Amino acid sequence: MKVSGLRLVFFAAFLFIAVSLLGGTALWQLAGSGNALDIEGRAVLVRSVPAAGPAGWTAYGGDAAGTHYSPASQISIGNVARLDTAWVYRTGAFAGREHVRDQASFEATPIMVEDSLVFCTPFNEVISLDPGTGEEKWRYDPRVPLDADPANEYNCRGVSYWRDARAVPGAVCGSRIFMGTVEARLVALDARTGKPCTEFGDHGVVRIEPGLALRWPGEFQITSAPAIAGDVVITGTAIGDNLRTAAPVGTVHAYDARSGALRWTFNPIPWSRAGDGENVGHANVWSTMSVDRKRDLVFLPTSSASPDYYGGARPGNNEHANSVVALHARSGEVAWARQLVHHDVWDYDLPAQPGLYEIWRDGILHEVVVQVTKMGLVFVLDRASGRPFHPIEERAVPQAGSDGELLSPTQPFPVVPPPIVPATLNPEDAFGVTLWDKLVCESRLRGLRHEGLYTPPGIGGSLAYPFSGGGANWGGGAFDPQRNLLVINMNNIGSEVYLYPDVEDRAAVARLSHDSEFAPMEGAPFGMSREVILSPLGLPCTPPPWGVIAGVDLDSGEIVWRKALGTTEDVAPGGLPLPFGLPGFGGPIITGGGIVFIAATMDYYLRALNVETGEELWKGRLPAGGQATPMTYMWRGRQYVVIAAGGHGKSGTKSGDYVIAFALGV
C-alpha cells in the first residue's frame, strides 16, 4: 500500500497556518485532543530470567527464530548517549541506475557471518564488509534487468547463510550466501569470496517459474531472505496485487542447498482451480519465514488469495491464505495451520516474520509463535500445535458486501493482547488543525461506510482503519527473553477504498486524485481504488500519533508502555519536530543492554529506547530514510549497531546508499 499520499510536503501548509494562528503549544494541544490514541508511559519490569546465546546476527531476524534479539550488552542504558558514528559505507548502487531510483527501497538488514557483514542492495548486489572498518571485501552483481518495473519495487531485505556440515574446512562453497532476485532467481554464492557456487542449479542459479505467463517481468519477484532448515533452502515470492483473479499461485519452493535440486513445493491454496480460466492465485509468502530447528519446522506467513478486494471467485474461508502455516521442513507437509483472517477482502495479508519465542509463566517455559498483523492485532500460538496460547475468539463482523461476495460472518480476535492501534473512528473525532480542516475531514469520513474492523469494501466507499500498510508491516517485532516483552511498532493511518462496477469507465478513474492507487482486478466484476485519507492541508484525517511503538508483556498480554514514534522534523518547514508520530517501515531490535534500537520513521534517525519504559535515550542522525531494521554484533571487543539508510520509494523518504555503523565513543 502506497503511503506517499502523505506527501510529506503536506506539513508546509499545515505548519504555516497552525504556527501562525495557533502557536506551537496550542498546536500540540489540538493534536492530542478528540479520540487520539491514548499513550501510556509507565515503567513495568516483567519477569527476569537469564538470557544466553552468542552476541552475533546470523540471520535476517537475528536468528532463524526471528527474535530480533542479541545478548550483546556493552551498549547499555547508562552509556548509550555516548554512541557515535564508527564508519560509513556507500554502496554506489545507483550508479547507472538513476532512472529507476524512485522505484527502489533500501530495506536490507546485514548478517554477521564468516567474520563479515553481508547484505544486498535494492538491485540484488551482494556486498561483504569488514565488521570493524566498513571496508568492502567482495561484491557480486547478478545484473538484474532495469526494465522489470517490479510491483514491490527494486528491493532486497536480506540474504541467508548456510554452512555445509559435510564440507572440509576451507572448501569452496563450504559455506554459502543465498539470495532471491527481482526476477525470481535464487542465487548461491561462496560466503568467503562472493563467487557463484557452480554446482548449485545452473552455475549458481535456480530460476523459479510463476506457473502463468507474466504481464510484465516484475510481477513475480523475491524480496525477502530465504529460510534455511538443515540442508534445505526455502523461498517464497512477492507477486503484484490486484491485477487479476487469474494470477500466479504463491507456491513455496524448497531446494537442496548443495545441488539446487527441487526437494518439495507447497501450494497454500490447493483448492484454487489453476489453469481453467477461473484460476485463483497468490496466498504467497512475500515476507520472511522462521525455522524451529529442534522440531524441523518452517513457519510461513501467507498472504491473501487474488484479488485482494473481491472474493466472489473464491468462496469460503480460503485456507491456507492469511495464515500461519507450519510445515515439516524436510517434506513440505503441513504440521498445522492457523488462519488469522477469513476470506480476506481488505489486503490484510500476514506481513511479518512469525516470531518463535520462549515465554516464562509460573516458572515454566512455553514455546510460542507470535504473529503481528496489519490489523493492529497480535496473535500468540502454541508452537507445537498452533492452538492459542492466549485465547482467540470468533467475533461477528460487518456483512452486506459487494454483489457476488460471500463474506465470513466472523473473524478471529485475540482476547489479549489488546489492539496496539485503534480500528474504529467516529467522524466527529476527525483530526484538523483548523475548524475548516477538521470539518472537511468529518464530512469525508461521514461519506464512507465504517462499522469498525473488517468493514467490507463497496461502491459507495469504505474506511479501512488501519489501512493496508499496517498496523504492523514487514519490519515485525522484537522479543526480550529476560522480560517476556514484545516490542512492536505500528502505523495508525486510515484509507478510503472504492469498488468500481465498470472498470472500463475511465472517467470514473480520472476522478481519482493523483495519490489514489487504482487496480483493475481483471476477472472480477469490480475495479478498486484506495488512498490515504488526507485533509485539504494534506494531513491525515485520522488522529495522531500516526506511528507508535509499544511494549507488550507476552505472559499477561498487557500493553505495558506505548509511545508515539517519530517527529515532523524532516517533513516540516524549518525542521519543527512535533511529536506526532509518523508512519514507518522497518522493525525494532533489542539488546542485552536493555536497549531497543529502531529507525523506520519518516524522520531520519536511528533511535535508542529504554526497553522497560519506551523512553528515548539517544538518537543518531541519518543522511537518508532509515526504512530498514537495524542489527548489532560484537567485533574484537566492541559492540556495533548497523542500519541501512537509503529511503523507501513508496513512502517518499530521501533515497541513498548508506550503511552506517554506530559504536561507543572513546
CA–chain centroid gap for 303, Å, is: 12
The helix (H) or strand (E) run that includes residue 110 is none
Query: Residues 190, 308, 344, 347: which is the catalytic one?
Result: 347
Cα–Cα distances (Å) from 514 to 5, 13, 530, in that order, read: 9, 18, 11
Please give the Cα distance from 558 to 71 (Å, whole number).
Answer: 24
- CB contact at 8 A, 60 and 119: no
Q: Which residue has the cell 547463510?
A: 161
The reply to whether 347 belongs to the active site is: yes
Half-sphere exposure of residue 553, counting CA atoms within 13 Å on the CB side?
Answer: 17
For β-strands 589-591 and 69-70, DSSP reports them as parallel
Phi, psi of 615 (to 5 degrees): -65, 135
Number of CB atoms found within 10 A of residue 566's CB: 28
Please give the Cα distance from 180 to 220 (Å, whole number).
Answer: 11
Please give the Cα distance from 359 to 84 (Å, whole number).
Answer: 34
Q: Is 376 exposed, middle or buried, given 0-12, 13-18 or 19+ CB atoms closer than 10 A? A: buried
Number of CB atoms found within 10 A of residue 596's CB: 26
Q: What is the DSSP string of 139-198?
A: EE-----TT---TT-B-----EEEE-TTSPTT-TTSEEEEEE-TTSEEEEEETTT--B-T
Please give the Cα distance from 563 to 40 (Å, whole number).
Answer: 7
Q: Which residue in 263, 272, 373, 276 sits closest to 328, CA to CA? A: 263
Q: How many helices (H) and strands (E) does the chain have?
A: 4, 40
Number of CB atoms found within 10 A of residue 61's CB: 31
Residues 6+ apart with CB under 8 A from 27: 18, 19, 433, 578
Residue 461's beta-bridge partner residues? none
Please give the Cα distance from 231 to 256 (Å, whole number).
Answer: 6
Please give the Cα distance from 122 to 571 (Å, whole number).
Answer: 24
Q: What is the DSSP string of 424-454?
A: ---GGG---SSHHHHHHHHHHHHTSB--STT
Please give the Cα distance from 374 to 198 (Å, whole number).
Answer: 41
Q: Which residue in 565, 589, 586, 582 sits closest to 647, CA to CA? A: 586
- CB contact at 8 A, 134 and 659: yes
- Looking at the annotation, which residues are catalytic? 347
